[in-house]
Amino acid sequence: MPTRREFVKASTAAALWAVGCRKKTSANRVVKIGYVGPFSGSLAAFTEPDAFVLGRIRRAIAGGLVINGQLHPVEIIGKDSRSDPNRAAEVASELIQRSNVDILVTAHTPETVSPVSDQAEINEVPCVTTDAPWQPYFFGRGGKADEGFDWTYHFFWGADQLVDVYTNMWDTVETNRVVGALWGNDNDGNAFGDPVTGFPPVFAARGFKLVDSGRFQLDINDFSSQIGAFKRANVEILTGVLPPPGFATFWSQAAQQGFRPKVVTIAKALLFPAAVESIGPRGDKLTTEVWWSPHHPFRSTLTGQNAAELCADYMRETAKPWTPPLGFKHALFDVAIDVLKRVKDIDSPESIIEAVRATNTSTVVGQVAWRGKPVRNVCTTPLVGGQWVRGEDGRYSLKIVNNKHAEEIPVETGLQPIDYSGA
């Protein structure tokens, strides 16, 4: 004699089975991962490692994935955002509505990540993203700390960590503690310069005097007024967030106008070796944050490789220097595959997002798990400070100089002030 509880259980199971049958047949169907990236346009340098990373991931899942006991082939569909937020939203909606992807992934700057995440949120498609500071990702999309988003999850560092890394670096050098800031009127600049959630309150708390030149339009090519303001205030530490050409312009005008800060710590512009090399000898001793390097002691769940091994393979196969997006792109697919492996019902987006929420996996950029801090949809990754050092042959290498914020990552050398003796 079945009890009432057993009867309810059995009939619910039967009802669910009936519902399952009406939907797209689940047995062995192809599971689709939609990926939006800036393959062309101004952000194309970020996707340089894509061919290598996607090749590895596709090889790792060539035999398909076992999802809840069923073997499913997996397809990754890549779409180009052309570095344009309009196009990013368009291709995201195409992937969702025409290709019917099961999970959406994207990376590289808020201009790519935010429009794609917005499309995922409204269409109720699970979405995992990386490589955009989390404050513009979360607050810039109208996120509220107590509510958060239902369908979109992100892992990266944030402005709060960045300012900690920067001030830790500056504490190790003898200066007058006067900081000049170059924050543009874009996602990053507005987030870093925010008087409440950005850098200014931290500067005040840690005893740095801020000289903020105001939010400028990023396409300007005359920085005389900023340089004048910094010189008048006797700025010895310069910080900011600029695209590479903008910083190159600023830095050559600073030289012409005799502005000689002891420490220069810039986000975004100093990410890629090619960008630093294009500055010439004056790129020596510039500092920046390091989100990832071969020295990061983390391992991928999918391939079992650590950061050093991944970098070594990349440099051997492509003959190009490693860049931080390599690690984050690898981690992004690492997480997506890990999620798919744990999904109970691949035909239910709710079940997929449940698996996203329960993620706790090791990647080459660190452990990824959404534990509600700093907000529900964001998991932070460790960040350290680095300095570009010019070798005898004119080639640059990025040395980790400060790990106070993430001590598991080893320091290579100490921070040195910029040497103007030859200038």
**Nearest residue to 359 via CA among 384, 383, 376, 382:** 376
Residue 40 binding another protein, by CB under 8 A: yes
**Nearest residue to 213 via CA among 199, 230, 200, 194:** 230
3-state secondary structure of 368: strand
The residue from 34, 35, 36, 39 that contacts another protein (CB under 8 A) is: 39
Residue 136 binding another protein, by CB under 8 A: yes
242 phi, psi to nearest 5 deg: -145, 155
* Two structure tokens written together for 391: 């070798």
The residue from 126, 133, 158, 189 that contacts another protein (CB under 8 A) is: 189
* Cβ proximity to another protein, 50 vs 334, nearer residue: 50
* Cβ proximity to another protein, 141 vs 296, nearer residue: 141
* Cβ proximity to another protein, 217 vs 421, nearer residue: 217
Q: In this structure, are residues 213 and 180 in contact, taking their beta carbons and an 8 Å threshold?
A: yes
Question: Tokens 């020295």 belong to which residue?
Answer: 295
Q: In this structure, are residues 163 and 383 in contact, taking their beta carbons and an 8 Å threshold?
A: no
Which of the 8 DSSP states describes residue 135? H
The residue from 184, 246, 327, 385 that contacts another protein (CB under 8 A) is: 184
Question: In this structure, how many other beta carbons lie within 10 angstroms of the beta carbon of residue 406?
Answer: 21
Residue 135 beta carbon to another protein: minimum distance, rounded to whole angstroms: 10
Question: In this structure, how many other beta carbons lie within 10 angstroms of the beta carbon of residue 381?
Answer: 25
**Nearest residue to 418 via CA among 247, 236, 292:** 236
Residue 158 binding another protein, by CB under 8 A: no
Residue 287 beta carbon to another protein: minimum distance, rounded to whole angstroms: 25
* Two structure tokens written together for 258: 């005799």
Residues from 102 through 121 that contact another protein (CB under 8 A): 110-111, 114-115, 118-119, 121
Residue 28 binding another protein, by CB under 8 A: no
Question: In this structure, how many other beta carbons lie within 10 angstroms of the beta carbon of residue 201?
Answer: 14
Residue 97 binding another protein, by CB under 8 A: yes
The residue from 45, 65, 89, 411 that contacts another protein (CB under 8 A) is: 89
* Cβ proximity to another protein, 94 vs 309, nearer residue: 94
Angle between helices 307-318 and 324-342 in degrees, nearest 10: 120
Which of the 8 DSSP states describes residue 319? -
* Cβ proximity to another protein, 105 vs 400, nearer residue: 105
The residue from 32, 56, 79, 154 that contacts another protein (CB under 8 A) is: 79
Residues from 197 through 236 that contact another protein (CB under 8 A): 215, 217-218
* Cβ proximity to another protein, 185 vs 278, nearer residue: 185
Residue 354 binding another protein, by CB under 8 A: no
Residue 412 binding another protein, by CB under 8 A: no
Which of the 8 DSSP states describes residue 30? P
Q: How many residues at the interface with another protein, by CB under 8 A?
A: 39
* Cβ proximity to another protein, 112 vs 265, nearer residue: 112
Distance between CA 218 and CA 246 in Å, rounded? 7
Task: DSSP for 155-206, please give it.
Answer: E---HHHHHHHHHHHHHTS----EEEEEEBSSHHHHHHH-TTTSSHHHHHHT
Distance between CA 423 and CA 419 in Å, rounded? 8
* Cβ proximity to another protein, 71 vs 220, nearer residue: 220
Residues found near another protein in the complex (CB under 8 A): 39-41, 79-80, 82, 84-86, 89-91, 93-94, 97-98, 100, 110-111, 114-115, 118-119, 121-122, 136, 140-142, 184-187, 189-191, 215, 217-218
